[in-house]
Amino acid sequence: MKATEEMIAEAIRQETSKVEETAGTQEEPEEQGQMLREPTAEIGDRIPSKYTKYQLEESGTIEKITYPTRDYFGDGGEITKSANVYLPCGYSADKKYNVLYLMHGIGGDENEWGMNTVSSRVKLIMDNLIYHGDIEPFIVVTPNGRSSRQYGAKDSDYNSFYVFGQELRNDLIPYIETSYSTYGDQTEAGYDPASVREHRAMAGLSMGGMQTINIGLGECVDLFGYFGAFSAAPTSNTAAKTAELLADCPYEIYYFYNICGTDDKIAYASASAAAKTLPDVCDKFEDGRNFMWQELPGGHDFNIWYLGFYNFAQIAFQ
Residue ranges that bind ligand FER, judged by CB under 6 A: 3-4, 7-8, 11, 15, 105-106, 158, 206-207, 233-234, 266
- Torsion-angle region of 96 (φ positive above 0: left; ψ -120 to 50: alpha; else: beta): beta
Nearer to ligand FER, 147 or 182 (CB): 147
Please state the separation of Cα 179 from the chain's center in Å. Answer: 20
Nearer to ligand FER, 245 or 269 (CB): 269
Tell me the residue ranges of DSSP E strands in the chain. Answer: 61-70, 78-87, 98-103, 138-143, 200-205, 226-230, 255-261, 291-296
CA distance 310 to 80: 31
Nearer to ligand FER, 234 or 279 (CB): 234
The minimum distance between CB 214 and ligand FER, in angstroms, equals 11
162: closest CA among 222, 240, 234, 228?
234
DSSP readout, 182-226?
BS--TTSTT--HHHHGGGEEEEEETHHHHHIIIIIIHH-TTT-SE
Nearer to ligand FER, 140 or 207 (CB): 207
Nearer to ligand FER, 8 or 89 (CB): 8
The minimum distance between CB 207 and ligand FER, in angstroms, equals 3
Please state the separation of Cα 44 from the chain's center in Å. Answer: 22
CA-to-CA dists, residue 123 to 57, 114, 129, 140, angstroms: 13, 9, 10, 9
The minimum distance between CB 298 and ligand FER, in angstroms, equals 14
The minimum distance between CB 134 and ligand FER, in angstroms, equals 29
Give me the helices (H) in 115-196, please: 121-131, 164-167, 173-179, 193-196
The minimum distance between CB 107 and ligand FER, in angstroms, equals 7
The minimum distance between CB 147 and ligand FER, in angstroms, equals 15
Nearer to ligand FER, 206 or 212 (CB): 206
The minimum distance between CB 8 and ligand FER, in angstroms, equals 4
CA distance 283 to 244: 11
Nearer to ligand FER, 11 or 140 (CB): 11
